[in-house]
Structure 1
Amino acid sequence: MQRRQLLAASVAGAAVLSGCAGPEVARYASETPVLDLRTYFNGTLDAYGVFADRSGEIVKRFIVVMRCQWNGDDGVLDEDFTYSDGTKQKRVWRMKHLGDGRFIGTADDVVGSAQGEQRGNAFRWGYTLRQPVGDKVYEVQFDDWMYLMDDRVMLNKAVMSKFGVRLGEVTLSFVKRQP
């Protein structure tokens, strides 16, 4: 009986993991315009976003002002969030370009480090974020995709999950300010 339960759990686990499979960033290698994160995220950007829960209902809107600067392969993305309920949040990403389109990043509310890869017009970024909800803090995973549309606009879609269960989705548009 125990052996059957172990086999059933293994099959269920494999099914869950295969359900998480999605496109690889390499699939976008030939897409244009070609994204260079160090160029795009340099200067001041405005971002406009929504968070939808797992049913698709928009539960929060937000605006972000980003001040970004790179020194060679090291970058700082300083983000100030203002949410529709009036709350504010700050996140400062410290990023490093590792070569060959690969990036690593840290922030105070990120567990460990974020790993990212850029190809063509796309950037995929995976990380675990400490997310406050009421008086508790949860660690949730983000599968974060960005797509450069032109020299000023980038679209972002991120799926938030915990233990492989989809909790919601963030949709965001970045607009780079004119110098």
Structure 2
Amino acid sequence: MNRRLLLSASALALLAGCASAPVPEDYAAEKPALDLKTYFNGPLTAHGLFTDRAGKVKRRFTVKLVGRWQGDVGTLEEDFLYSDGKTERRVWTITALGNGRYKGTAGDVIGEAEGIARGNALRWSYTLRLPVDNTTYDVQFDDWMYLMDDRVMLNKARMSKFGIDLGEVTLSFYKP
């Protein structure tokens, strides 16, 4: 009897582990609705950190952002300041494709980023050329952004290479 109970519990745990990953449509009814052209327009500030696979904080940073849109094409300038004093700049060109779909490019992004917004959420996927010490690595980012209200958006991004989890970036955006 104990063996059956153990097998049943193991099967349930296995099924729970196989639950499907979230998709943007899961958030379609969530409010407030996220529109990148509205939220990423004008100045913003973000505070973030990178944690490794074990959850240890490896880097902390702030980002000063400025977004500008002309029709369906926007420019998002990001200036990073890391806790060790290093700086970095990324300039995105983002195009609204309609129906909550976006594409984007930046100098250190390989190919195009793809985004889908539904409800208060955006899934933003891309490959970033990341400099580490004296070399660079092409790593995949799976960003999820959640609009909390008209001023605050939270961002969780998983970073991986060859499907292996490298860590997570967490950001809090604030629009004055």
Q: TM-score, normalised to structure 2's length?
A: 0.89
Runs of 4+ with deviation above 6 angstroms: none
Counterpart Cα distance in 2 of 1:44 and 1:28: 26
- Does the C-alpha gap of structure 1 residues 134 and 96 become closer, same or farther in structure 2, counting only changes over 3 Å? same
Unaligned runs of 5+ in 1: 1-17
Counterpart Cα distance in 2 of 1:147 and 1:108: 25
Confirm or deny that 1:107 pairs with 2:106: yes
SS at match of 1:38: helix
Shift of 1:20: 10
SS at match of 1:117: strand
Q: Deviations over 1:146-175 (max 9, x none)?
A: 000000000000000000000000000000
Confirm or deny that 1:44 pairs with 2:43: yes
Counterpart Cα distance in 2 of 1:136 and 1:108: 17
Confirm or deny that 1:54 pairs with 2:62: no
- Percent identity over paired residues: 60
**1:169 is aligned with what amino acid?**
E
- Does the C-alpha gap of structure 1 residues 75 and 20 become closer, same or farther in structure 2, counting only changes over 3 Å? farther
Counterpart Cα distance in 1 of 2:44 and 2:21: 29
Counterpart Cα distance in 2 of 1:67 and 1:21: 36
SS at match of 2:32: coil
- Residue 4 of structure 2 aligns with which residue? none
SS at match of 1:48: strand
**1:123 is aligned with what amino acid?**
L
**What is the RMSD of the two structures over their aligned residues, measured on CA atoms?**
1.4
Unaligned runs of 5+ in 2: 1-16
Q: Deviations over 1:40-77 (max 9, x none)?
A: 00000000000000100000000000010111100000
Q: Which has the larger radius of gyration?
A: 2
SS at match of 2:55: coil
Q: Where do residues 4-15 of structure 1 align in structure 2 (5 Å cutoff)?
A: none
